[in-house]
Amino acid sequence: MKSHYKVIVIGGGIGGCSTLYHLTREGCTDVALIERNELTSGTTWHSAAQVTNFGATQTMVGLKSHSIKLYKELSADPENPINYHHASGGIRLASTQEHLDGYNHFISLAKGMGVNFEMLDPAECAKRHPLIETHDLLGGLWDPLDGDIDPAQLTQSLAREARKAGAEIFRHNPVEAIHQDEDGKWVLQTKNGVVSCDKLVNAGGYRVNELGKMLGIEYPVISMEHMYFLTESLPELEAIDYRVPLLRDPLDDFYSRQEKNGLLVGIYEQRCKTWGMDGIDPNFVNALCPDDLDRCLDNMERVFKRMPCLERTGIHSIINGPITYSADGNPLVGKTPGFDNLYSIIGLRAGLGEGGGHGKILAEIILHGESEWDTWCIDPARFTSHANTEFTALKSIEDYQNEFRFHMPHEARPAGRLAKTTSIYTTLKAQHAEFGVVNGWERAMFFKPTADFEFKHSFRFTETDKIVAAEVKGVTENVGIMEVNGFNRFEIKGPKAAEWLNSLMCSNIPKTVGRIGLCYFLTEKGNVLGEATIAKLSEDTFWYGSAAAAEYKDMDWLRTHLPEEGVEIRSLTNTHTILSVTGPKSRDLLASLSPRTDWSNAAFPWLTTKPVFIGHAAAQALRVSFSGELGWELHVPNEQLLLAHTLLTEAGVDYGLIPFGSMALESMRLEKGYRHWKADLITEFDPFESALDRFIKIDKEEDFPGKAALLAKQGKPMRKKFVTLTVDCDIAPAHPGDSICVNGKVVGTVTSAAFGYRVNKNIVLAFIDPAYASEGSEVDVEIIGTPYPAVVVSDCLYDPKNEKVRSL
């Protein structure tokens, strides 16, 4: 080893080798990979190694498509071929209408990434896979490029190509300790000596938290035991001259693929087990867990009914090994929050199938700060303090048990719940709140008419939509109250606070004490990184507010740019909670409880803030409204939240106060064209493409991050344009990822959608080709498999002059 490298990757599985390969492809060759044993000696070696194009978001589809393309190229090397069964095809079975609706949505989503799936009827499923029975089947999703690959050959190929480009690999060299020098460099004590690097990557596989302890980090990643078995040869397979497609069954919790003339069958049993939570034997290398097929007996009867041939053959061997899961099933690929030069590629549940894309994304982030795709779905910063090891274990078990069952719209699964609650949770529960989860926080989605009302998750409109409509009506006609917990809130103060904040934003920050501004900040490439509501509380004190999910992401970005002196940041995210009081009677309600505050428009105009008392509960009141009605946000210290909520609820009886939830708010904000971070605001587009022109001060004196890149784009054609559409469909809303087409050609992608009950329109927000972005342009929006006519409209359908929010 040299004494120093620009980048060191720890771990020689698919994640580490893919990262090393892609770093060299991006031009960085001063890199090394350190592996404690042999390459591919962890989870990678016993992987079932399926390579599918299927993904729940466009980013996941994109990285899988990259993996398939890369693996095909590598496998074509005549000197070092890889056993890659490319394009065997795969079927995901559908046994319910919900499965069909979901698959039709994913077909549309994938189409926007240039990937073509197909819906099959039961007869066609059986024709393409002659070993299955079609009882209870409604159809299946066909992935033409599905296949499987040899794990060891793949990782060796990636390693070989990286070495050719100048990277170095050191095997049988376990890392024993890690520390960071004062200058920020990482210093690694390894078995074979000390080495340092500018940037460090944790690709430790199931030993991720052993490295985490050396780094002082508890990663939200654990391992689950996973079993598959290999059968003896089957006459049915010997009799045909093609490989049967891969099979995945969300009802019976199994998958299958051909292995020689037999089958490989993997079970996602309900009686599953975590692994290694109390430590891992240092000698667990190229090793397996004890066989335990008894755990799978509950599944086996159903599996045999789907594939009767399994009853007529023997089991050749059983593989039971650890695979890593994160707290939401997606990997952690990117920069570690709290560090400037520490990265991870861990929690790779489907590592072989996705690993090529993960390595590409991470290499781009390490070297360029961002990927070509928005990577929030795999960003390590999406997990915050609630995602401890025990929480992760509960969620991993749940995810394992639902491996092929995609999340339905608005579905919040039960494991790990109540991780973050406020003092009014039980109050809202008594009001029949149906809760979802935002960054671990329990947040009311809507309020059920009765305690036993069943919330049916569907891609279509349901009875719940009538309840949401009633909540919108109550807010619009009288006044509503909503708890917005977990809202990201930082106090930024100091003599240089104003100057510093203004230097970061491509918008102007408020200059007058008591004023509020909506501000945006960019990546170095000039794309939209985030949105912040900034309130000036005093000459040297500001409140910075953003989406609850952005808690770690925004703090990390601010900390990275923090000057050596003159500015301090303190998080109030977990010390305060918002009570949003909104509707035409909100002023009267608040005045009845706070008579010493002048709530008039002259004294308390739109986009201003002041400290108030609600009864004897202190609050910072901001006159802003995400609903588009007259309203205030009351930022209340958590110790007085129950008091404030009780007082408002009791006094609200005289004003027709109703509780409302996030689904009603979603409907109302779409009518106003208000954006949602990581739905409508993503790092793939700049602020002009995102239709944020009125907030962008490109001529401001300050050299804010991304300014040079934004200036360089001036005069160049836009890639996409953000628009609002209304769609003529009365059976369902669109869903994020759905394609927008003209004459069958994809021209855009849905980012947010819901029915707007005040304007009686089915609304879609989307990025589309600029040629179709002008008002009046006619397009089609695909909704659960069917194109519906839609038209581009004004970006504000409700109260476009803002007369409601400015109400006198």
Tell me the per-residue pLDDT of 451-485, one tens digit each, with 9 for 90 and over: 999 999 999 999 999 999 999 999 999 999 999 99
- Three-class SS state of 139: strand
CA nearest neighbour of 661 among 630, 626, 632: 626
Give the pLDDT confidence score for residue 808 in this predicted structure.
87
Burial 508-540, CB ≥16 within 10 A → b, else e: ebbeeeeebbbbbbbbebbbbbbbbbbbbbeeb
Minimal CA–CA distance to 360: which of 32, 680, 560, 68?
A: 68
Task: Kindly provide the residue ranges of all beta strands, DSSP E only, lying in 232-331, ordered along the sequence.
Answer: 246-249, 254-259, 262-267, 274-275, 315-326
| Residue 106, SS3 per DSSP | helix
Cα separation, 663 vs 736, whole angstroms: 15
Mean pLDDT across 772-781: 98
pLDDT at 110 over 90: yes
**pLDDT at residue 33 above 90?**
yes
Residue 96: the pLDDT is: 97
pLDDT confidence of 351, banded at 50, 70, 90?
Answer: confident
d(CA 766, CA 248): 32
Read off the pLDDT band of 20 (50, 70, 90): very high
DSSP secondary structure, 194-260, as one string: EEEEEEEEE--GGGHHHHHHHHT---SEEEEEEEEEEEPP-HHHHT-SSPPPEEEETTTTEEEEEET
Question: What confidence score (pLDDT) does residue 206 get?
Answer: 97
For residue 332, CA distances in Å to 39, 373, 377, 484 come to 21, 15, 9, 27
Q: Given a cut of 90, is residue 497 above it in pLDDT?
A: yes
β-sheet bridge partners, residue 632:
581
The pLDDT of residue 616: 97
Parallel, antiparallel or unpaired: strands 4-10 and 193-202: parallel
Split at pLDDT 50, 70, 90, the class of 39 is very high
For residue 547, the model assigns a pLDDT of 97
Interval 620-675: pLDDT, tens: 999 999 999 999 999 999 999 999 999 999 999 999 999 999 999 999 999 999 99
What's phi and psi for 223, nearest 5 deg? -115, 150
Q: Report the alpha-carbon distance of residue 331 to residue 84 in Å, rounded.
A: 24
Mean pLDDT along residues 587-614: 98
Residue 353 contacts residue 48 (beta carbons within 8 Å): no
Q: What percent of the chain has pLDDT over 90?
A: 99
58-75 and 351-368 helices cross at what angle (nearest 10)? 100
Which helix (H) or strand (E) segment holds residue 516: the answer is strand 516-522
462-471 per-position pLDDT tens digit: 999 999 999 9
Residue 30: DSSP 8-state: S
pLDDT digits (tens, 9 = 90+) for 547-569: 999 999 999 999 999 999 999 99
Ramachandran angles phi, psi of 539, nearest 5°: -60, -30
With H, G, I as helix, E, B as strand and everything else as coil, classify residue 434.
Answer: strand
- The pLDDT of residue 298 is 87
Q: What angle do CA 21, 25, 27 make, to 5 degrees?
A: 120
Whether the CB-CB separation of 496 and 341 falls below 8 Å is answered with no
Q: Mean per-residue pLDDT for 140-164?
A: 97
Q: What is the pLDDT of residue 173?
A: 97
Cβ partners under 8 Å of residue 432, min gap 6:
447, 448, 449, 450, 451, 453
Is residue 653 packed enough to be buried (19+ CB in 10 Å), middle (13-18) or exposed (0-12)? exposed
Evaluate whether 198 touches 185 at the Cβ level (below 8 Å).
yes
Confidence of residue 705 (pLDDT cuts 50, 70, 90): very high
How far is it, in rounded angstroms, from Cα 24 to Cα 20?
Answer: 7
Q: What is the mean pLDDT of the chain?
A: 97
Question: What DSSP line would sit under 520-575, residue for residue?
Answer: EEE-TTS-EEEEEEEEEEETTEEEEEE-GGGHHHHHHHHHHH--SSS-EEEE-TTT
Q: What is the mean pLDDT of residues 589-607?
A: 97
Calculate mean pLDDT across residues 517-545: 98
Question: Does residue 53 contact residue 65 with C-beta atoms inside 8 Å?
Answer: yes
**Is 138 a residue whose pLDDT tops 90?**
yes
Q: How many helices (H) and strands (E) does the chain have?
A: 18, 39
pLDDT at position 442 is 98
